Structure formats: structure tokens, C-alpha cells
Copies of this chain bind each other. A is one copy, B any other.
Amino acid sequence: MISMKEIGKICGISESTVSKALSGYAGIKPATRDRVQEVARKYGYQPNAMVKCMQTGVSQSIGIACNHFQDLFSGAIMDGVQEVLHQAHYDSYVISWDKLVRSGENLLNRFSRRRVDGLLLLPMAQVPTASYTTQLYSFPNPVVLVDQFWGSREFDYVGSNNREAMKELVGTLIMLGYRKIGAVFYSKVSSGVERRAGFIDAMIAHGLPVNADSLCEVEHCDSCELDEKVLRLLKSEDRPDVLVCFNDNLAVNVMNAARDLGLRIPEDLAVTGFGNLPFSDMIRPRLTTVDQQAEEIGRQAARLLLDRISGKGDIKRQEILIPARTILRQSSASDQNK
């Protein structure tokens, strides 16, 4: 890549004049300016972004830590994030979170060395260890957590109103006539804990008993294997009429397992998900779920981070909750009042 110094040599002028000519500085002879710009174009000159960073201390880039990329929820967040970054002329480094955790490498050091202006932490499969939290505290630039809490609640946060949204979903099921309501939760992430709480809120609010036997907790939420506990619940005499699941993926697994046992959906068992990922509308029966507006979560997270970087906005810690809405589809009956 040609440099300003080389362009200067070609034009027979100094490096600093080249700089002024290319930056559109006023006090330059038009002929000089035109000549410089012509040479720059001819040789495909592009300014070195590193230099600007060294001079200003601002890299115009952020780091994004993503668990992995085969996840439609994270993908939708990423699309929203990229949209906002692109408008702000910001670039982003991505790091695959689970690979770093496995290799024991310090994630933040890699970002620090690149001098990123801020950090976006997308949801991961499990709450990270204390040592990661410690690293985060010592990161000098703004950090925004997306759809997850980490240790304490000191960092800015953007995510769904998981608790309220789950309460609303369960409330809707109760309105539809469902009474025997079971659930399959995954509580290794903060969103799981919140949805679980929302479930219990709704049950209590409607005076329904929360039965320990029909409240399953699973160890993994992205594999195809379903926990033994869930299968037992599906086979039990006292099977619920509806199973509320932590997310869409789990819901599909539950539907498949139920049908393998000969249960009809939603007649024998209704199932609900959470996320409204694309496949929830592609499977049959279509899945009743909760739309999280993942792209909007991404957009707001990126905006908040950029505001933090530029020093705009409230100084106080921010917590932005994006409202999630119940989407009724075929996997729950429209009227359970028989």
C-alpha cells in the first residue's frame, strides 16, 4: 500500500503537503491538490487506520465476544449490532468465546492489545468463572452485557424483559384455560433464572400450585438429547396439559419427544418456546413462543456502547429492557376450556 511519503516523492512535494491535500485542507494550491488526489487514486491509496488510533487514542473499533456463531439468537443480535456500527463507521473484532474459555486464554487482553474502544459481550452457554469477571472489571473501556448478567450488576445491560414476558406468556395460557402447567427450564444463565421467576410469578398470581414434579431443570439447552426427567414427566400419569420451555430449541425437542410417545400436539400436550427464532414458524405445528426482537436488542446494545464511548448520555448504569411479546401459534390450543 502506497504511503503519503511515496505520493509526495512522486509529486515532488513534502509529506505534509500531501496530507493537507488529501484531507481537503483549505490553504493548498488547487493544482497541487488535484495532482495529489490523482496520484492517490491511481495507486489506490488508503489511509492507515492504525495511525489515527495512535494519534487520537480512538480505534473506531469495538470487540464482540460471541459464544459461537451457530446460534440464531446471537446471529440476530449480531445483525442488529452490525447495522448500528456500520452507520457509525465503527468496525468490529469478533472473538469466539467458547474457544477462548477452552484454551484458557485471556479474552480481554486480546481486545486490549487491539485498543478496542469498547466491548459487547453476547450471551454465552454458561455463567463464566470468577476469574473472567475479574478480568472484566479491569478492562479500561466501556462494556455492555447483552441478554445476560455477570456476577454483579455493575455493567450496562441490554436484554429482554424475560421475567415479565414469561409471566405474560403463562398468564395467556391460563386465560386460554390451561391449568396443569409444567415447565422445562435452564438456569445456568441469567435469562433462564428470570424466565423461571416469571413462570412462578404467573402461577402464584393466578392461584395455581407450583408443582416441583412438573418443573424440570435441564443441564443443556442446545443439544438434541432431552433430559431423562423431562421424558419421565411426559410419560407420567399426571402429565401437564402444557409444557412451557426455556427456549425454542428446547420446545422443539420436547415436541418431538412427545410425538414419539404418541402424544398429539396441542390436543394431548401443548408446548411453548421462547425466542421466536425463524424455525419456530417453519415447523409443524407452528410453535407458540415469545418474540424477543433480538435485532433490536443488538441495535440498542450497540447504540448504548457507542454512547458510552463518546461520553454521551446518562452517567448512571443503564439497564435497557426490550419488551418481548407472546406469539400464539398452533402448538397451543386456542381454547382449552373443554
Is residue A318 contacting chain B, with contact meaning CB distance below 8 A?
no
Total interface residues in chain A, CB < 8 Å: 55
Pair B70/A82 contact, Cβ less than 8 Å: no
Is residue A235 contacting chain B, with contact meaning CB distance below 8 A?
no
Given A70-B72, A93-B91, A256 and B278 touching (CB < 8 A)?
no
Q: Which residue of B lies closest to A85 (CB)?
A: B96
Given A86-B96, A110-B91, A256 and B279 touching (CB < 8 A)?
no
Pair B113/A46 contact, Cβ less than 8 Å: yes
Pair B115/A50 contact, Cβ less than 8 Å: yes
Copies per assembly: 2
Is residue A120 contacting chain B, with contact meaning CB distance below 8 A?
no
User: What is the CA–CA distance of A253 and B44 in the complex, to the nearest angstrom?
Assistant: 46
Q: Which residue of B lies closest to A277 (CB)?
A: B70
Task: Collect the chain B residues with CB atoms within 8 Å of residue A140's CB.
Answer: 1, 44
A29-86 residues with Cβ-Cβ distance < 8 A to B are: 44, 46-51, 53-54, 59, 61, 68-72, 74-76, 78-79, 82-83, 86
New A-B pairs, 12, CB < 8 Å, besides A50-B50, A82-B96: A47-B113, A51-B54, A61-B93, A69-B75, A69-B76, A70-B79, A72-B72, A75-B75, A86-B105, A256-B284, A259-B284, A279-B283
